[in-house]
Structure 1
Amino acid sequence: MNAISSEWTKFWSVRSTWWCLIGGLAMMLAYSGALGLASNAGVERSMAPHAVVVGAAFYLSQFAVVALATLFITSEYASGSIRSTLQWVPVRNRVLLAKSAVLLPVLFGYGVLLALAGILLSAPLIPTPDSSFGDVLLTSAGMGGYFALLGLLCLGLGTALRSTAGTIVSVFVLLVMIPMFAGSLGWESAVNYFPGFAGVNAMVIAGEPNPIFGGVAPYAPWVGIALCAAWAAAGLATGSAVLRRRDA
């Protein structure tokens, strides 16, 4: 508990945390508002509010989460404070567990908040806002789960790479570039199993078209969360192995 309390204090006491959270919210509201206005003016095809926020999360807000979770560990390597952290918590796995215990509830709640904020903003602007309570609930919970697990993936990779820029670039390639490359080669079925698209599928009602690439997911929303959890576990396992070997 002391390790978690320490990480909680460190998380909220730096400006980068607040800037990332505010930036992610601003991007969600800007995207949702712009798409709602475009739909109302007939410039853009009308989308349901819960689909609008999924696009905002994938194209913009998720990268605020990536930056936030990455800086949570890499800033300690950059400043040298990781030495003190490892002296206070000599069992290496407990450091990652404590940081994970902080990130999970914060990023889950943050994802839910962003989804609700984007829906509340875009719904009055869209001519025919076709989002039921169930749609809103699933999208909000899916976004919260995806953001929480994405944060753990970044935490693991950041621990392994010890570089802010290297981690952010690696995660961007994993979320966007590799799936795009796979899709261009005709491997569209593989795209759904990468963390970014699995997270999007977790926010979409089963059988509903994915608002990012238009296809229907070959699995239920809970499977998308399970895939994100598998990616997060792999990232944390990699970070833990490197941490124990390198900083023993």
Structure 2
Amino acid sequence: MTTDEGRAVAPGLVHDAPGRRSPGALAGAVASEWTKLWSVRASWLSLLAGLVITGVFTYYYASIARINGHPVEAVGNAAASSAVVTQFAFVVLATVAVTSEYATGTVRASLLWVPRRHRVQAAKALVAAAVAFLGGALFAVAGTAVAWAAFDGRASFDAGTTLGQVLAVGAYQAFVAVLTVGVAFATRHPAGALSILAGLLWALPSVLLGLGGETLAAVNDLLPYGAGGHFMRVGGGAPYSTATGVLIVAAWTAAAHLAGLYVLRRRDA
């Protein structure tokens, strides 16, 4: 039996008849990826590290603002700012979800079970996005609580604004997770994927902002974290609307996803 991409598969694995559930269908692939994600210790360790980093970063951010007498700002900005560091918890989680299978060779079994390759990538992306959204939102809630205590009166709290920021942080982390899945499929190696993502999400923005200047700041505004920072934080005079910031991050995510899919389809496992 052959797939839609011309590869032979074991008989009985794919059944696309109406009304019949196929092991190779997207729902089955998502269930499989969910199980595999939580069977890897690195997933749990990444989330634990992200939670600890959130607490430390938000406490530091709020304490500095209090000590230096910065103008009162939204308490959720501390959690939003921590995403520059905590995003790497989800980068590692999503990278491991892809590259661990290439390292062990189990990706061949995954592609045999789900021979339509776009479903394999879509399943990993959906699972990583769901975990990152929920994890990012929970990190933001924890970070906001820590920051509120550390600000000691130097922050404002509005329930609607804070909820919006919590959801925005979760959405940004979900985008980062899907972007990571695409890069990981394109590189197939953890060192390569992490190098690209560290450069794109942290090193390049740091260099651009460190050098200063309106032109370099405008370039940073078009990068994933630059745009994400604008729709996660409130105040500060963003150069474009929240919707534009979301679309910029979504465009980067889509580009990475398509690049990963191209490599997955063109190269043998």
Q: Return the TM-score normalized by structure 2.
A: 0.83
Deviation at residue 2 of structure 1 after TM alignment: 1.1
Determine if the alignment matches structure 1 residue 78 to structure 2 residue 103.
yes
Structure 2 SS opposite 1:187 = helix
Distance in structure 1 (CA, Å) of the matches to 2:126 and 2:90: 16
Is 181-190 or 68-77 further displaced after alignment?
181-190
Aligned to 1:87: 112
More deviation, 218-227/173-182: 173-182
Q: Which residue of 1 aligns with 2:11?
A: none
Unaligned runs of 5+ in 2: 1-26
Q: Which digits, 9 at most, give the CA deviation of each residue in 1:121-149, with x for residues without a partner? A: 11122123213123212211111111001
Alignment-derived partner of residue 252 in structure 2: 231
Shift of the alpha carbon at 1:115? 0.7
Superposition map of 1:123-202 within 5 A: 123-126=148-151, 127-183=153-209, 184=211, 186-202=215-231
- Counterpart of 1:24? 50
1:54 is matched with 80
1:35·1:44 contact (CA, 8 Å) conserved in 2? Answer: no
Q: Which runs of 5+ in 1 are unaligned?
A: 210-215
Task: Choose 1 or 2 for highest CA Rg.
Answer: 2
* Conserved? CA contact 1:115–1:140, under 8 Å: yes
State the match for 1:109 in structure 2. Answer: 134
Aligned length, in residue pairs: 238
Q: What is the identity, as a one-letter code, of the residue corresponding to 1:187?
A: L
Q: How far apart, in 2, do the equivalents of 1:153 and 1:23 lie? A: 20
d(CA) in 1 for partners of 2:199, 2:119 = 29
Give the CA RMSD over aligned residues. 1.8
Tell me how far apart the structure 2 counterparts of residues 91 and 122 of structure 1 sit (CA, whole Å). 46
Asked if the contact 2:126/2:178 (under 8 Å) is kept, the reply is no
Name which of structure 1's ranges 113-122 and 128-137 shifts more when overlaid on structure 2: 128-137
Question: CA contact under 8 A between 2:54 and 2:82: conserved in structure 1?
Answer: yes
Identity %: 34
Question: 2:146: which partner in 1?
Answer: 121
Using the alignment, how far apart are the partners of 2:150 and 2:180 within structure 1? Answer: 35
1:55-92 superposed Cα distances (whole Å, 9 cap, x missing partner): 2111x211111111111101111111111111111111
- Determine if contact 1:204/1:221 at 8 Å carries over to the other structure: no
What amino acid does structure 2 have at the position aligned with 1:66?
Answer: V
2 CA distance for matches of 1:232 and 1:154?
8
Using the TM superposition, give the Cα deviation of residue 44 of structure 1 relative to its aligned residue in structure 2, in angstroms: 6.6
